[in-house]
Structure 1
Amino acid sequence: MDYLKILHEDSNLAADFDALFDFFWLNEPTERDEIEGKCTFSMDGKAFARDGAGGEYHQLEDGSIGYMSSEGECGRIAESIDDLIHLLVYSICWHDYSDSSQYKDISTLDTYANERHNQITSYTDMDKWEYVVKVLGMPSETNVAAVLQKFYDAANREPLYQGFYHEEDGSITPYEGLFF
């Protein structure tokens, strides 16, 4: 499904999407924020969306999706735009699913996914969420653990997507990964 096209053609839907998922689509791909030339990346890519905290979503040269936070985290989060949309929609606050210890087996991940999902949906406007899901033509239910496993696998796939900050003294500090 061409989710980008649907969101670009419906500004109200795009506004609801941004409000729910803190995800603002840029009108066109742009250069990544390289922090005035002080940041480099392990793969070429373009910024195509931002979040309210200053983070950027990057479409990488291999078609996968990377993310760079304003707090010094960087990594791949999805293998495609479709996988990204599924991550945003079904995990709602994907940042809250970054505890790598919860990905050790499917049972642990399933429990973690359900607990976090129930907590997040308790304070999310689920009527707006259902509207967005319906307009995008997505099922209202899915296996959140499977979506999260794809996120984890993308983040750990080689070559890793990494950011590097070039310090004033000439040293280079790698950004943190997305999982802790």
Structure 2
Amino acid sequence: MDYLKILHEDSNLAADFDALFDFFLLDEPTERDEIEGKCTFSMDGKDFARDGAGGEYHQLEDGSIGYVSSEGQCGRMAESIDDLIHLLVYSICWHDYCDSSQYIDMGTLEAYAKERHTQITSYTEMNEWETVVQALGMPSKANVAVELQKFYDAAHREPLYQGFYHEEDGSITPYESLFF
């Protein structure tokens, strides 16, 4: 499914999607913010969406999706746009699922997903969520743990997507991983 095309063609849907998932789709891919040459990345890519805190979503040279936060985190999130949209929609707040200790086996991950999802949906406008999901032609039910496992696997696949900040003194500071 070409989710980005659907969002580009319906500005109201794109605004609702952004409000729910903090995902502002750019009109067209642009160069990544390299902070005046002080930031470099391990793979080529283009910025195609942003979040409200200044984070950027990058489509990487291999078609996978990377993310760099304004707080110094960087990593691959998904193997494709479809996987990214599924992660955003079904996890609702992917940042809340980055505890790597919860990914030791599927049972632990399922319990983690259920607990976090229950908390997140308690303060999310689920009627609006349902409207967005229907407009995108997605099922309203999904196994969140399966989507999260894809996220974890993408983030840990070699070669890793990494960012590096070039300090004034010439030293290089690697960005932190998305998972802690």
TM-score range, shorter chain: over 0.9
**Cα deviations by residue, 1:117-152 (Å, 9 ceiling, x for unpaired):** 010000000000000000100000000000000000
How far apart are residue 36 of structure 1 and its match?
1.0
For 2:15 and 2:52, locate their aligned partners in 1 and report how far apart those are by CA, in whole Å: 13
For 1:3 and 1:58, locate their aligned partners in 2 and report how far apart those are by CA, in whole Å: 16
Match status 1:67 vs 2:81:
no
TM-score if structure 2 supplies the norm length? Answer: 1.00
Amino acid at match of 1:104: I
- Which residue of structure 2 lines up, in the alignment, with residue 156 of structure 1? 156
How many correspondences in the alignment?
180
Identity of aligned residues (%): 86
Amino acid at match of 1:24: F
For 1:79 and 1:132, locate their aligned partners in 2 and report how far apart those are by CA, in whole Å: 22
- Which residue of structure 2 lines up, in the alignment, with residue 137 of structure 1? 137
Amino acid at match of 2:103: Y
**Cα deviations by residue, 1:4-62 (Å, 9 ceiling, x for unpaired):** 11100000000000000000000000000101110000000000000000000000000
Amino acid at match of 2:57: Y
Amino acid at match of 1:26: L
Hey, which bits of structure 1, 4+ residues long, moved more than 2 A? none
Match status 1:23 vs 2:23:
yes
| Structure 1 residues not aligned, in runs of 5+ | none
- SS of residue paired to 1:86: helix
- Which residue of structure 1 lines up, in the alignment, with residue 170 of structure 2? 170
- Which residue of structure 1 lines up, in the alignment, with residue 108 of structure 2? 108
Give the aligned CA root-mean-square deviation in angstroms.
0.3
For 1:33 and 1:50, locate their aligned partners in 2 and report how far apart those are by CA, in whole Å: 11
- SS of residue paired to 1:19: helix
For 2:96 and 2:36, locate their aligned partners in 1 and report how far apart those are by CA, in whole Å: 29
